[in-house]
């Protein structure tokens, strides 16, 4: 089930340009919005909100007050604002239109997962600071990658979104939370041993034609999604979503080389909803279309 964004009630005068709604992202919500100049008064914040100015404005200001703090920042492209859970008295004044702002919403359970995994004294979700005017290249790059997933189809988009949500939660906990909640692990972490890794790899190969969720792979390894993603990358050399994409591409190349299936059927078996999206992804990876590859190898 999708995470629900708070934007509709919080920004009623803004224009929705793109949304993750309906994509099955269960651990993060994303919306691209265009904001006019004006004043905004919001209710209780239900999720941690990250706002990233994609196409900002250099001739205006964003004035925010919330949680007993007041801030004034220029909404230049790349500027980031954080809104913690529980902020209920936020007021925002935008003095010049912001053409494109990406709003990311992280539910409390992503931060609770970090607390469980690393034996933190309490969940960092309630220690995220109310901050504005940040520049953080890691958050910006993750935001841009999520925006790309909203605007072009990827067979592993859901898996990437789940991984990205944990990366964002970890970044906020590490850099923008009260450090007193962070404690080192009290014992050795779980390993992704050969038996569990083999079980995960076999599952991927047996379900290449289906949706493969990061959470399902983590359950097979009996690890949290965050810890599994790190351990899998260390063992294989690729993040889970990129490994699945590579295996689907290799499978598609084999079908092109030895069979006579139509391209539309190969696209379906490779996890794409259309031949066109499959052809675009194949060309990005190989430099040629599926038809050109088939003629080359046969």
pLDDT in tens, 42-83: 877 889 999 999 999 888 999 999 877 889 999 999 999 999
Distance (Å, whole) CA 13 – CA 94 = 12
CB 169 within 8 A of CB 106: yes
CATH for 242-297 is: 1.10.10.60
> May I ask the CATH architecture of the domain 7-181?
Sandwich (2.60)
Q: What is this structure's pTM?
A: 0.65
Q: Which two tokens stand for residue 175?
A: 């850099």
Phi then psi for 86, rounded to 5 degrees? 95, -10
pLDDT in tens, 197-211: 889 999 998 888 888
Nearest to 78 by CA among 161, 158, 147, 155: 147
């Amino acid at each position: 089930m999708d995470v629900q964004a708070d934007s509709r009630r919080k920004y009623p005068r803004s224009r929705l340009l793109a949304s993750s709604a309906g994509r099955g992202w269960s651990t993060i919500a994303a919306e691209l919005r265009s904001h006019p100049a004006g004043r905004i008064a919001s209710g209780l914040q239900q999720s941690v909100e990250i706002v990233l100015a994609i196409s900002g404005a250099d001739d205006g200001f964003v004035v925010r007050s919330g949680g007993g703090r007041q801030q004034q920042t220029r909404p230049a492209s790349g500027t980031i604002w954080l809104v913690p859970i529980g902020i209920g008295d936020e007021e925002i004044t935008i003095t010049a239109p912001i053409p494109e702002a990406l709003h990311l919403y992280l539910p409390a359970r992503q931060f609770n997962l970090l607390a469980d995994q690393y034996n933190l004294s309490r969940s960092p979700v309630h220690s995220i600071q109310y901050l504005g005017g940040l520049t953080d290249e890691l958050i910006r790059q993750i935001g841009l990658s999520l925006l790309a997933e909203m605007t072009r189809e990827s067979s592993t988009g859901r898996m990437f979104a789940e991984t990205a949500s944990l990366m964002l939660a970890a970044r906020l906990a590490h850099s923008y939370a009260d450090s007193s909640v962070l404690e080192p692990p009290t014992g050795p972490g779980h390993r992704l041993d050969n038996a569990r890794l083999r079980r995960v790899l076999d599952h991927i190969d047996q379900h290449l034609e289906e949706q493969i969720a990061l959470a399902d792979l983590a359950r097979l390894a009996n690890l949290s999604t965050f810890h599994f993603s790190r351990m899998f990358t260390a063992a294989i050399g690729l993040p889970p979503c990129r490994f699945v994409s590579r295996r689907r591409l290799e499978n598609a190349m084999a079908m092109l080389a030895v069979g006579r299936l139509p391209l539309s059927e190969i696209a379906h078996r490779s996890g794409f909803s259309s031949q066109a999206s499959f052809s675009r992804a194949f060309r990005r990876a190989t430099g040629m279309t599926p038809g050109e590859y088939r003629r080359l190898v046969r």
